């Protein structure tokens, strides 16, 4: 890299323009550790500050990893901020746990940056990731097992975080610092091969660079290719999501089986992944294989367990998706009837109020009951339980709730999360489905309560 410092500045400025990563007249938080990469980034941004009419600040996350040395780093960056005329923000992190340190430190660092950006109203955060980081990341992702999403590597833009240095190498920063007599702090943790990334940096990358000295640029190209594919898949997925995903009348996410059949098995699986979890973690290979098989071959009633405590049920013309935690969260709610009740139960809204004008609905979402029949001290909303019985409206004998659900052709998932409104030991309402005959409104009813059970809003594609 024989580029002069001036050439690096020009390339930085041109890239800021062509990549459209940041807008002119915007405000940004520069994440500066004190190492050569982030220090040079601060100088490069200072160079273009007036030109782009930027408002800049420096944020430093003190990992407290190396005791006093870490505090000296912080002082160094604070002085740098002062020298460049930028406000300085920092946070000190202490963590006694040693396991998975890297990942937790990373989360804490981004949490600090995001919080600071939001609180102070800055538009974006810039980090100093460069081409060599990209090469390491791509290798790490390949080693860990990543599909095309993981192989996008470090993204040039990820939400409010931008990486304007991905096309530059560390060697260029060192050169820039040398030519401009810029001082920086050595990050001693970089030489510590206890960490996965550093193992790749110290032991594997040098070997690879013997085969391809330009591997950093090569990696950035591969990452770009994956970004392009991922964006393209995203487009198609977004369309498909709009056509195929909705909320069932029981409040579950449902995927239209016919719409699913119209697309390739690749997109089918991607859609399920999108519905089930929205992060980039790669699913295990066998999950993909099983999911493939399930989407193709499942018959009505088959259930597949997916990552993230998720289950998927093959129903007639659809797949129903539900989370284990849907059920775990469902504690019984004790109701206070003195005031109108409005409760959010996962996936549903429940309301109860007094009314003077009972009407009749046919969909079961709204029911009217004789308020005086209730045992007001013990009103509960809970999941139905094995053994629950009630006298359905218009009948005289008790019937098992499980039988009522079977007769109503309620699918297995909905059945598992069917709510009941109870009063004392009696079931008042099999919510949204059937009223207990005992609580019906009659000619002698003096006080009418209106009950409503409706499912929550449709999930949004993102």
Applying CB under 8 A, which residues contact its own copies?
138-139, 142-148, 151, 196, 199-200, 203-204, 207-208, 210-212, 215, 217-222, 224-226, 228-229, 231-233, 235, 264-267, 285, 288
Q: Is the dihedral of CA 43, 45, 50, 51 positive or negative?
A: positive
* Cα angle 95-97-101, degrees, rounded to a multiple of 5: 80
At 184, list the tokens: 């920086």
**Who contacts 450 (Cβ-Cβ below 8 Å, separation ≥6)?**
351, 352, 353, 354, 355, 358, 366, 367, 368
List, in sequence order, the alpha helices (H) in 279-337.
285-297, 324-328
Least distance in angstroms from the C-beta of 204 to its own copies: 5
The smaller minimum CB distance to its own copies, of residues 17 and 395, is found at: 17
Tell the smallest beta-carbon distance from residue 215 to its own copies (Å).
Answer: 6
CB of 171 to its own copies, least distance (A): 19
To its own copies, the closest distance from the beta carbon of 233 in angstroms equals 8
CB of 278 to its own copies, least distance (A): 18
* Phi, psi (rounded to 5 degrees) for 394: 85, 0
Question: 3-state SS of 162-222?
Answer: ECCCCCCCHHHHHHHHHHCCCCCCCCHHHHCCCCHHHHHHHHHHHHHHHHCCCHHHHHHHH
CB of 248 or CB of 268, closer to its own copies = 268
User: For residues 140 and 428, which CB has a smaller minimum distance to its own copies in the complex?
Assistant: 140
Look at residues 359, 331, 355 and name the one whose alpha carbon lies nearest to residue 343.
331
Taking the complex as a whole, how short is the minimal distance between the CB of residue 285 and its own copies, in angstroms?
Answer: 4
Judged by CB, which is closer to its own copies: 145, or 178?
A: 145
| Smallest separation (angstroms) from its own copies to the CB of 232 | 5
Contact 309, 287 (CB under 8 A): no
Question: Residue 246: beta bridge partners?
Answer: 254
Min separation Cβ 143 and its own copies, Å? 5
We find the least distance from the C-beta atom of residue 197 to its own copies, in angstroms, to be 10
Nearer to its own copies, 149 or 314 (CB): 149
| CA–CA gap between residue 384 and residue 431 (Å, rounded) | 10
For its own copies, the closer of residues 267 and 298 by Cβ is 267
Nearer to its own copies, 231 or 403 (CB): 231
Residue 52 per-residue DSSP state: H
The answer to whether the Cα torsion of 204, 206, 207, 213 is positive or negative is positive
Decide whether 73 or 156 has the Cβ nearer to its own copies: 156
At residue 271, the 3 state secondary structure works out as helix
Return the closest-CA partner of residue 296 out of 327, 263, 248.
263
Q: In the complex with its own copies, which residue's Cβ is closer, 178 or 285? A: 285
**Least spacing, CB of residue 141 vs its own copies, in Å:** 9
CA dist 350 → 154, 283, 306, 353 (Å): 44, 36, 29, 10
- 15 contacts 164 by C-beta, under 8 angstroms: yes
The minimum distance between CB 142 and its own copies, in angstroms, equals 6
Between 220 and 414, name the residue whose CB sits nearer to its own copies.
Answer: 220
Which residue, 279 or 396, is less far from its own copies as judged by CB? 279
For its own copies, give the closer residue by CB, 151 or 421. 151
Q: Minimal distance in Å, beta carbon 11 to its own copies?
A: 15
In Å, what is the CA distance from 428 to each residue of 206, 369, 400, 441, 450? 72, 9, 14, 12, 12
DSSP one-letter string for 67-103: THHHHHHHHHHHHHHHHHT--EEEEE------TTHHH
- Which residue do the tokens 């991922």 mark? 230
φ, ψ at 419 (rounded to 5°)? -95, 155
């Amino acid at each position: 890299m024989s580029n002069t410092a001036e050439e690096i500045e020009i390339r930085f400025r041109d890239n800021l323009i062509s990549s459209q990563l940041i807008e002119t007249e915007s405000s940004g938080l520069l994440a500066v550790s004190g190492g050569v990469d982030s220090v040079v980034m601060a100088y490069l941004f200072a160079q273009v500050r007036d030109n782009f009419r930027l408002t800049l600040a420096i944020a430093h996350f003190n990992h407290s990893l190396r005791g006093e040395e870490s505090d000296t780093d912080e002082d160094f960056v604070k002085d740098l901020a002062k020298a460049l005329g930028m406000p300085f923000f920092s946070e000190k992190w202490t963590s006694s746990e040693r396991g998975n340190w890297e990942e937790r430190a990373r989360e804490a660092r981004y949490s600090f940056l995001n919080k600071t950006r939001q609180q102070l109203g800055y538009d974006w955060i810039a980090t100093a990731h460069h081409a060599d980081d990209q090469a390491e990341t791509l290798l790490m992702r390949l080693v860990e097992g990543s599909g095309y999403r993981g192989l996008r590597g470090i993204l040039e833009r990820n939400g409010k975080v931008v990486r304007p240095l991905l096309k530059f190498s560390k060697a260029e920063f060192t050169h820039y610092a040398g030519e401009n007599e810029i001082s920086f702090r050595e990050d001693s943790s970089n030489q510590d091969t206890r960490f996965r990334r550093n193992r790749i940096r110290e032991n594997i990358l040098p070997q690879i660079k013997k085969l391809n000295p330009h591997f950093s640029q090569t990696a950035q190209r591969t990452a770009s290719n994956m970004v392009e594919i991922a964006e393209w898949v995203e487009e198609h997925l977004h369309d498909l999501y709009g056509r195929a995903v909705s909320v069932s009348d029981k409040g579950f996410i449902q995927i239209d089986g016919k719409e699913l059949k119209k697309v390739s098995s690749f997109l089918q699986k991607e859609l399920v992944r999108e519905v089930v979890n929205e992060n980039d973690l790669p699913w295990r290979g066998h999950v993909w294989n099983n999911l493939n098989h399930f989407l193709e071959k499942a018959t009505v009633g088959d259930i597949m367990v997916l990552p993230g405590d998720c289950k998927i049920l093959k129903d007639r013309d659809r797949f129903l998706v539900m989370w284990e935690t849907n059920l775990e969260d469902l504690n019984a709610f004790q109701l206070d009837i003195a005031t109108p009740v409005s409760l959010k139960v996962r996936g549903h809204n429940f309301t109860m109020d007094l009314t003077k004008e009972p009407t009749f609905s046919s969909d079961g979402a709204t029911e009217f009951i004789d308020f005086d029949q209730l045992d007001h001290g013990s009103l509960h909303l809970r999941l139905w339980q094995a053994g629950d019985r009630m006298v359905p409206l218009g009948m005289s004998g008790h019937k098992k709730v499980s039988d009522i659900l079977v007769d109503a052709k309620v699918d297995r998932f909905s059945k598992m999360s069917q709510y009941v409104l109870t009063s004392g030991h009696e079931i008042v309402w099999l919510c949204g489905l059937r009223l207990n005959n005992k609580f019906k409104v009659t000619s002698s009813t003096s006080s009418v309560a209106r009950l409503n059970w409706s499912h929550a809003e449709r999930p949004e594609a993102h």
